[in-house]
Chains A and B, each alone.
Chain A
Amino acid sequence: MTHNPARLLSVAGELTIYTASEWKPRLLAPLLEGEHLELDLGAVQELDTAGLQLLLLAKKEARARGLTLLFCNHSPAALEAIELCGLAGFFGDPVLLSPTGP
């Protein structure tokens, strides 16, 4: 797998009901093309149920295809939502805790 480097994708702004339709194809495209994906959540300003659902969908899809999907550089907003739903374990990504806490 190492010969196939992950594609890096940055999510910026809000990942919410208002942008979900727009993000769904963009998030899934690399996976549908059989590429590993690394998703930079550093610029996520807002994450709601719809956004969270998309991340879950992508993760599931990646798992089903045997691909790696990593979330990294979680922004505080993203981290708060993930923690709130007790999903840190499901995503299984290393989370860098900011000194002020999530």
Chain B
Amino acid sequence: MNLDDALHTFIAESLELLQQMEEALLHIEQAPDDPDTINAIFRAAHTIKGSAGLFGLDGIVAFTHVAESVLDLVRAGRLHFTEELAALFLQVCDHIGVLVKRAAEHREPEDSVRQNGTHLLEWLNGLLDDDPARDATAQPPATCPAETTANVERAADTVGTDHWHISLRFGQDLLRNGMDPLAFVRYLATLGRVQHIVTLTDSLPGADDMDPESCYLGFEIAFRSDADKATLEDVFEFVRDDSLIRILPPHSRTAEYQQLIQALPEDDMRLGEILVRCGTLTEAELAEVLRSQAHDVPAAPVGQLLVEQGIVHPPVVEAALKKQQQAKENRQAANNLIRVDAGKLDQLIDLIGELIIAGAGASLVAQRAGNGELMEATALLSRLVEEVRDSALTLRMVQIGSTFNRFQRVVRDVAKELGKDIRLDISGGETELDKTLVEKIGDPLTHLVRNAMDHGIEPAEARLARGKPAQGLLRLNAYHESGSIVIEVADDGGGLNRERILRKAIERSLVAEGAALSDAEILNLIFEPGFSTAEQISNLSGRGVGMDVVKRNIAALRGSIELDSTEGLGTTVRIRLPLTLAIIDGFLVGVGNAAYVVPQDLVVECIELDCEGGHDYLNLRGEVLPFIRLRNLFDIEGAPPRRQNVVIVQFGGLRAGLVVDQLMGEFQTVIKPLGKVFGRIRGIGGFTILGSGEVALILDVAGLIQHLASQRHEAHPHTFLKESL
């Protein structure tokens, strides 16, 4: 893995962590003192800092370090997550995100970004300075022996741990003097939490020499506490004279650990391992300490011992590092997730598409040859191919939940901006859809959400006047329905005023005055270009662009959008999208010599056309059903056969019939996009290649139904389209 790859991973991970941090920050507004959430925020910041350090991204390290220090105060309970602090940290989170993105682009942050960073740092540092306990903990008093000038340290030299480290070696006479070291440990536990303790028995002599009344034990303690250094030192007040007591504050410098290791009687390597076991130093930090020690102390005892140690140390350290690496890998395996380049998946799907076409070709040959065994074999083959296709497609499926969760932040920010109190309710987050769709649905959704908050949900007074709770409710919901995914954006606001929409539409000459429109048609007018009912234009929406753009974006994804609104009670916008963009189950029909594919999910039933007279609708069990003759639509020459069939399709709650010559059955369809030249043709969504090598056009049912609706509309003042259900 070269450095660029690693950097790429770092960036992906950091952005994910920032996402988690943001979610935690939003969560914390509801539960300000939840330690899990606080830890999650801290961990995210800490990990980003650590990884950024590996890549020498000093800007990120410096900034994140300050943020982390503030978070440390929160963890220690000296600072509380107020709304302001959460808001500040959301900005911090954003800023780190910007820094990470700049790093991804190998660019230096712009001046505006820098200024923002400086501003945030001032704020954060202000919080740190305000902390009363800081003075006691930040700078350890100069009790450590003789700091040499070589030890003028950079901040980067501090170790990552955030707990105290206490080393105790008791005097031999302690027990005889009536003191019990265990009692100290017990007392210590009342001042904080003993994270880890290692009892040292190294100085315990052999059985013969051991005096049962002398004390031989030592302790290395990793200790988490809010107490300041003086308090901790006081614990050992009475034994200080004849015992060796070393107390290192959290985030001490590497050099201080080095001094500690030198000062204690045990072998350096062993001590180092104990420090690692306590969690005080990481393996890497230990390696650093030992290495710098090797530099700093050239005059250490020479001779056999040193040579031995010189040989022994590096492998030991290496082994330790390897072990750490392994632990990390195990953790990743536990997550059971792997990152795959989306491009590879696309390639796989493409190949499977080819496989399906080739499979269809093989079945066709088998059928023509009339060889039973061959047909059986190809049938099995195509079933397997179908399964492979389905599982390959699920690889691309992602849950919509993470997209939805992003809106927590949007809703929070926009609600603040608008001065409204709005709650976001998310359901159906586990609904899966194609990754490409998820990426493309973000913008339209944002627009709809903002729109609902700005125009949909009324100000608190208006809500109270209408007998609604002051807090507005916005709902994001997703579910699967007959081969589509439906995404709903619903608000409990004022709803749409049909009169006003109609008036506006007439004003803008979108409809003729006196035209009779159904409710649904009136509502759908707001998707027309240049339509906006907002009486005051706000910063967010209401400029008259938007809904038509949303509609266009959705249509580009082969989806549709519809609107449901009850005045006074709220509006629901429903987006319907195909589950996947690449492969569908198709229903093959023939008109003249050509074959067409209708997406199977949209087919409701097939009936024989029982046609007297030339009218373009039929009676389906008492229901008026309009239909389109594909023969006419595509100007196909030749006379229709004696018996024609109608394929009844349903889309977005509307039904219509398609009149075709032949029904040819199911067909797995790999959708190939049409070239730009054909982009403007209505009613065609793409093409596919049949087993025989012939081309079949895929019908754009949504487009056809709309086409039908508009035709009807021209011919008659009201629509014939029948709403099913």
Nearest opposing residue in chain A for B210, CB measure: A57
Nearest opposing residue in chain A for B179, CB measure: A49
Question: Which residues of A sit under 8 angstroms from B189, Cβ to Cβ?
Answer: 84
Given A53-B216, A84-B189, A85-B182, 13 further pairs, Cβ under 8 A: A17-B180, A48-B182, A49-B180, A49-B181, A49-B217, A52-B217, A53-B204, A56-B201, A56-B204, A81-B182, A84-B182, A84-B185, A85-B219
The total number of A-B Cβ pairs within 8 Å is 64
Q: Which of B192-200, B391-399, B641-649, B683-691 contacts A (4 or more CB under 8 A)?
A: B192-200
Q: A84-B197, A86-B198, A90-B199 are in contact. Are A49 and B212 (CB under 8 A)?
A: no
Contact of A24 among B180, B186, B212 (CB under 8 A): B212
Chain A binding surface SS class: helix
Asked if A28 lies at the interface with its beta carbon under 8 angstroms from chain B, I say: yes
Question: A-facing mask of B200-232, CB < 8 A → 1, else 0?
Answer: 010010110010110111010000000000000
Report yes or no: B199 in contact with A54, Cβ–Cβ below 8 A: no
Binding site for B on A (CB under 8 A): 17, 20-21, 23-24, 28, 31-32, 48-50, 52-54, 56-57, 60-61, 81, 84-87, 90
CA distance A32 to B206 in the complex (A): 12
Asked if B175 lies at the interface with its beta carbon under 8 angstroms from chain A, I say: yes
Q: Which of B174, B180, B189, B198 has the most CB of A within 10 A?
A: B180
Question: Which residues of A sit under 8 angstroms from B175, Cβ to Cβ?
Answer: 17, 49-50
Question: Which residues of A sit under 8 angstroms from B182, Cβ to Cβ?
Answer: 48-49, 52, 81, 84-85
Nearest opposing residue in chain B for A84, CB measure: B185
Report yes or no: A21 in contact with B180, Cβ–Cβ below 8 A: no
Question: Which residues of B sit under 8 angstroms from A86, Cβ to Cβ?
Answer: 196-199
Q: How far is the CB of A15 from chain B (nearest CB, A)?
A: 10
Q: How many residues from B make CB contacts under 8 Å with A?
A: 24
Q: How far is the CB of B183 from chain A (nearest CB, A)?
A: 8
Binding site for A on B (CB under 8 A): 174-176, 180-182, 185-186, 189, 196-199, 201, 204, 206-207, 210, 212-213, 215-217, 219
Report yes or no: B185 in contact with A53, Cβ–Cβ below 8 A: no
Chain B binding surface SS class: loop
Q: How far is the CB of A73 from chain B (nearest CB, A)?
A: 21
Provide a sorted-by-A list of 22 A–B residue pairs whose CB atoms are within 8 angstroms: A20-B213, A23-B212, A28-B207, A31-B207, A32-B207, A49-B180, A49-B181, A50-B175, A50-B212, A50-B215, A53-B212, A54-B212, A56-B199, A56-B204, A56-B217, A57-B207, A60-B204, A61-B207, A84-B189, A84-B197, A85-B185, A85-B219
Report yes or no: B210 in contact with A24, Cβ–Cβ below 8 A: yes
Q: Which of A21, A23, A24, A57 has the most CB of B within 10 A?
A: A57
